[in-house]
């Protein structure tokens, strides 16, 4: 005669085994063990989806970059372009600015680099209690008087430093003849990031000492610190015309329009003008998608 207790025990063990197997299918089977005990490399649906989205994003960014490179500007001839592809800064177009002390920080070569994903990075960071920022320029490599100068960039919304795209001539230091013998032209700079959606355009001439003169405008542009935007300048014989996202923001001939070639600069600087650097989340980065310069086509 079959022992009832034995039957109940066998039934209990069988149910327990089934419960364990079912539970395993719902959790541990994400990475089931192989027969030899090693972990399987099977991927979950979420992981496959994430990798697919990442590949799609890379493809879409590449497609966007190709479309941007194919753009033309009616009535203008392209004279300079950098889309920051590759791993290293193009030394036929740019050089690091000297590692000078600037305001409350110092320019550092290691704070200006390419990210390998089609962007120039101008970074601000803290090392051993000191602040460093990136700066590059086209001095002795590319200089031009008059034209259309454009940058597409994502500007960081932090305080204690500002980023900028500007034109510079060594003759800016000369005094006399107003700005016609050389003007610093700040196409954009961001000293007011902590205060809201405001950037600045500015002009400086007659040196930086007692005879220094300047003019500027700080337009409010909603969302300027969100995503990428274009900042541009048309410099002609009569005036400077500033643009943000293809919309005119300032038109001026203050100081008399410069008549001498200028080189390009992309920089970040630490200083109290922009607030307290101790309130910034560092490292912080200006991401630059491209820089282009044009000259008027002759008829």
Q: How buried is residue 251: exposed, middle or buried, by Cβ count under 10 Å (0-12/13-18/19+)?
A: exposed
pTM of the model: 0.81
**With 70 as the cut, is the pLDDT of residue 295 above it?**
yes
pLDDT > 50? residue 54: yes
Q: What is the mean pLDDT of residues 15-35?
A: 43
pLDDT at 26: 45
The pLDDT of residue 52: 66
Which residue would you say has higher pLDDT here, 285 or 3?
285
Q: Which two tokens stand for residue 63?
A: 């497609």
| pLDDT for the residue 70 | 87
In percent, how much of the chain has pLDDT > 90?
74
| CB neighbour list of residue 114: distance below 8 Å, 6 or more residues apart | 84, 86, 87, 88, 89, 120, 121
What are the structural domains, with CATH classification, of the chain? 77-296 (2.60.120.200)
Mean pLDDT (whole number) for 189-197: 95
Of the pLDDT bands very low, low, confident and very high (cuts 50, 70, 90), residue 49 is: low
Q: pLDDT band at 72, cuts 50/70/90?
A: confident
Q: How confident is the model at residue 5 (pLDDT cuts 50, 70, 90)?
A: very low
pLDDT of residue 62: 78
pLDDT of 185 strictly over 90: yes
Q: Lowest-pLDDT range, 11-20, 115-124, 192-201?
A: 11-20
Mean pLDDT throughout 110-130? Answer: 97
More confident residue, 111 or 36: 111
pLDDT of the residue at 163:
98
- pLDDT, residue 56, reads 63
Those residues whose C-beta lies under 8 Å from the C-beta of residue 102, and which sit 6 or more positions away, are 133, 135, 269, 270, 271
Instruction: Say if residue 1's pLDDT is above 50.
Output: no
How distant is the alpha carbon of residue 103 from its chain centre? Answer: 22
Query: 202 pLDDT band (50/70/90 cuts)?
Result: very high
Q: What is the pLDDT of residue 67?
A: 86
CA atoms within 13 Å, Cβ hemisphere of 161: 34
Average pLDDT on 68-95 reads 95
- Cα 121–285–136 angle (5° rounding)? 40
Mean pLDDT of the chain: 87
Under the banding of pLDDT at 50, 70 and 90, the label for residue 183 is very high
Residue count (the chain): 299
């Amino acid at each position: 005669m079959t022992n009832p207790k034995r039957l109940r025990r066998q039934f209990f063990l069988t149910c327990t085994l089934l419960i364990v197997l079912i539970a395993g299918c719902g959790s541990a089977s994400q990475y089931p063990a192989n027969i030899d005990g090693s972990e399987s490399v099977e991927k979950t649906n979420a992981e496959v989806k994430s990798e697919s989205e990442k590949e799609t994003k890379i493809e879409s960014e590449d497609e966007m970059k190709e479309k941007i490179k194919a753009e033309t500007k009616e009535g203008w001839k392209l004279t300079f372009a950098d889309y920051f592809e590759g791993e290293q800064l193009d030394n036929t177009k740019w050089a690091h600015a000297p590692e000078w002390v600037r305001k409350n920080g110092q320019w550092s070569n290691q704070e200006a680099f390419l990210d390998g994903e089609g962007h120039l990075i101008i970074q601000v960071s803290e090392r051993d209690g000191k602040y460093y920022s990136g700066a590059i320029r086209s001095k002795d490599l590319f200089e031009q008087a008059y034209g259309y100068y454009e940058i597409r960039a994502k500007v960081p919304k932090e305080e204690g430093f500002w980023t900028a795209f500007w034109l510079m001539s060594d003759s800016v230091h000369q005094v006399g003849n107003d700005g016609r013998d050389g003007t610093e032209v700040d196409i954009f700079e961001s000293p007011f990031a902590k205060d809201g959606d405001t950037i600045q355009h500015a002009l400086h001439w007659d040196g930086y000492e007692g005879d220094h003169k300047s003019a500027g405008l700080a337009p409010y542009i909603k969302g300027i610190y969100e995503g990428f935007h274009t900042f541009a300048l048309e410099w002609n014989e009569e005036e400077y015309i500033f643009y943000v996202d293809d919309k005119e923001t300032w038109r001026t001939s203050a100081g008399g329009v410069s008549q001498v070639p200028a080189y390009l600069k992309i920089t970040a600087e630490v200083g109290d003008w922009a607030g307290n650097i101790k309130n910034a989340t560092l490292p912080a980065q200006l991401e630059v998608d491209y820089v282009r310069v044009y000259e008027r086509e002759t008829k």
